[in-house]
């Protein structure tokens, strides 16, 4: 029965009308751009319902722990707002989840609208007759809500990246990898080979821990193409061996007197799941890397993708080195970039 309800909730979400479809172009342009982080969620609910249990329900659904990190980080950050305090400031935020709970509600369910108050906004409304029904709705639609918010976040990040895309990076990937990926101008090509391309981004930002100043961080992204032999390559152990063989050769650390290179940290579990990217079978892996003979480490996310037509295997990998920062936003940036791949 629970699976049936979950399926119905997914249908309700996907079948709901989008405000952007009803807006005229003039009305759409008059709306300002949405504000806030791509992982910030404003939840509008009465205090008594929030404290009674909606806080725990929403946290369970949206603030789940990211996989592959040393320290826990949540998928989304949640800010609770009372309906009376839901002012124009909050209405301009990027993601809004509203609970309308009243005995006068005729049709309980979940609906969404794009661009309701601002451009680039996702607005979700859960209507219920009472607390128990509201709780049942949000928990029952857990998977659909996670997917909806993750997809919205991904589109927003990619839209921002496309605005600062780099033609040189795109040409390199077309020539050497036979693929297109949305890579911004902030990534510089480091290695260009027929079987391996590596791009790096070095930048500064306000430190989030350790010190009150700007701190350096680095993001890396590489794509490798090889012949596809068998499905055994998708076993976690085989994936780790494949990644380590590439990073030992190409991702070299700062030390010169002794060999330094990247490898998968074996003390952190490797998490995997099957996904589809650009219509191709793919397995996603998450974990932690370390630098042999150097004190460096951070999270990575990898995608092993099969080009069935040409019997080729692609490894698309992104990793983060940001010791004074939380890692979520960096990882989500890399995810959005890598999952934009299109094989030519």
Q: What is the DSSP string of 169-237?
A: HHHHHHHHHSEE---BTT-EEEEE-SSEEEEEEEEEEE-SSS-SSEEEEEEEEEEEEEE---GGGGSHH
d(CA 40, CA 90) in angstroms, rounded, equals: 11
8 Å CB contact between 204 and 289: no
CA distance 64 to 67: 9
- Please indicate, yes or no, whether the overall pTM of this predicted structure exceeds 0.85: yes
Cα distance between residue 114 and residue 109, in whole Å: 17
Q: Domain segments of the chain: what residues?
A: 2-161, 165-343
Instruction: Please report, in tens digits, the pLDDT of each residue of the chain (344 residues total).
Output: 444 444 444 444 444 444 444 455 555 556 789 999 999 999 999 999 999 999 999 999 999 999 988 889 999 999 999 999 999 999 999 999 999 999 999 999 999 999 999 999 999 999 999 999 999 999 999 999 999 999 999 999 999 998 888 889 989 999 999 999 989 999 999 999 999 999 999 999 888 876 678 899 999 999 999 999 999 999 999 999 999 999 999 999 877 788 899 999 999 999 999 999 999 999 999 999 999 988 899 999 999 999 999 999 999 999 999 998 999 999 999 999 999 999 99
What separation in angstroms does the CA of 63 have from each of 98, 110, 152, 167, 341?
Answer: 16, 19, 16, 37, 28
Helices (H) and strands (E) in the chain, counts: 11, 15
> In the CATH hierarchy, which fold is given to the domain comprising 2-161?
Chitobiase; domain 2 (3.30.379)
**CATH class (in words) of the domain with range 165-343:** alpha beta
Helix (H) or strand (E) holding 106: none
């Amino acid at each position: 029965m629970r699976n049936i309800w979950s399926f119905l909730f997914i249908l309700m979400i996907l079948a709901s009308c989008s405000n952007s479809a009803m807006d005229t172009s003039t009305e759409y342009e008059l709306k300002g751009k949405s504000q806030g982080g791509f992982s910030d969620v404003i939840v509008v609910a009465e205090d008594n319902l929030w404290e009674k249990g909606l806080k725990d329900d929403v946290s369970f659904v949206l603030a789940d722990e990211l996989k592959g990190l040393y320290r826990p980080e949540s998928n989304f950050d949640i800010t609770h707002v009372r309906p009376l305090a839901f002012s124009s400031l909050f209405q301009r935020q990027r993601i809004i989840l509203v609970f309308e709970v009243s005995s006068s509600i005729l049709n309980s369910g979940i609906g969404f609208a794009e661009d309701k108050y601002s451009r680039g906004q996702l607005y979700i409304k859960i209507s219920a007759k009472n607390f128990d029904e509201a709780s049942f709705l949000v928990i029952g639609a857990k998977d659909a809500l996670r997917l909806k918010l993750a997809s919205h976040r991904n589109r927003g990040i990619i839209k921002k990246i496309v605005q600062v895309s780099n033609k040189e990076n795109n040409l390199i990937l077309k020539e050497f990898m036979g693929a297109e990926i949305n890579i911004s101008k902030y990534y510089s090509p480091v290695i260009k080979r027929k079987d391996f391309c590596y791009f790096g981004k070095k930048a500064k930002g306000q430190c989030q821990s350790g010190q009150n100043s700007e701190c350096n961080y680095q993001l890396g992204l590489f794509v490798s193409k090889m012949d596809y032999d068998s499905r055994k390559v998708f076993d976690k152990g085989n994936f780790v061996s494949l990644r380590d063989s590439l990073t030992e050769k190409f991702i070299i650390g700062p030390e010169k007197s002794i060999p330094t290179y990247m490898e998968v940290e074996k003390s952190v579990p490797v998490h995997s799941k099957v996904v589809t990217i650009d219509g191709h079978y793919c397995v996603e892996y998450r974990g932690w890397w370390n630098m042999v003979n150097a004190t460096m480490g951070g999270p990575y996310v990898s995608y092993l993708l099969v080009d069935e037509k040409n019997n080729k295997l692609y490894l698309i990998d992104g990793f983060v080195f940001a010791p004074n920062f939380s890692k979520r936003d960096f990882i989500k940036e890399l995810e959005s970039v890598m999952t934009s791949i299109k094989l030519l």
